[in-house]
Amino acid sequence: MRDPAAMPLDDSTRNVARRCPEVKKSWKQQAQRLQKEVHVFYFAFKHPRVRWYAKLVAACSAGYLFSPIQLIPNYIPVIGFSDDFLVLFVGAKVLQRIIPPEVLTECRELADAAEMRRKEEIKSTPALVAFVVITSVWLLAAVGAGILMARYISPDKATVK
């Protein structure tokens, strides 16, 4: 048998290697789409024309995801997260069916507007200044705590009798 590591790359292997960035890109796009849908369902949950049972489905789906008690524990590598994904997927599909389409359209517009505001807030000067100030305070606190600990532990103050 030939060693697979010693085999030269043929065109099919190169094509698979080239497709990896596309796969990563699609995963990123899917995650962004999921984040947007969660935001849409948040606005739908708060919307007055959404029936109580739709709000109950949304609350139960979110509650299961954040609950420490689950059917399959998350520390089991693949299966643990698959039940979370299944609950999220089924909850989203049920909500899409029971929430009126015009309400979903209105909530999608609200989610788009909120995303644009969030992006503008991140780029604003006050947000950058606040980030720098908070980071500086934490760094000064860490340096101060380190100096105090060094003085407390220093050997020249310790006396042995």
Its domain, for residue 141, covers 124-161
Q: Does residue 24 carry a pLDDT above 90?
A: no
Query: Please, what is the average pLDDT of the chain?
Result: 79
Quick one: 30 and 46 in the same domain? yes
Quick one: 70 and 132 in the same domain? no
141-144 contacts: CB < 8 A, separation 24 or more?
none
Lowest-confidence pick of 4-13, 90-99, 133-142: 4-13
Quick one: 118 and 130 in the same domain? no
Between 32 and 63, the more confident residue is 63
1 assigned to some structural domain: no
Helix (H, G, I), strand (E, B) or coil at 47: coil
71 assigned to some structural domain: yes
Quick one: 87 and 35 in the same domain? yes
Confidence at residue 94, expressed as pLDDT on a 0 to 100 scale = 92
Radius of gyration for the chain, computed over Cα atoms and rounded to the nearest angstrom = 26
Q: Quick one: DSSP state of residue 155?
A: T
Q: Does residue 8 carry a pLDDT above 90?
A: no
- pLDDT, one tens digit per residue, over 38-93 is 888 888 889 999 999 999 998 888 888 788 777 777 777 777 778 888 888 888 89
Q: Does residue 14 carry a pLDDT above 60?
A: no
What is the distance in angstroms between the CA of the first residue and the CA of the last residue of the chain? 75
**Residue pair 80/73 in contact by the 8 Å Cβ criterion:** yes
pTM attached to this predicted model? 0.53
**Residue pair 44/103 in contact by the 8 Å Cβ criterion:** yes
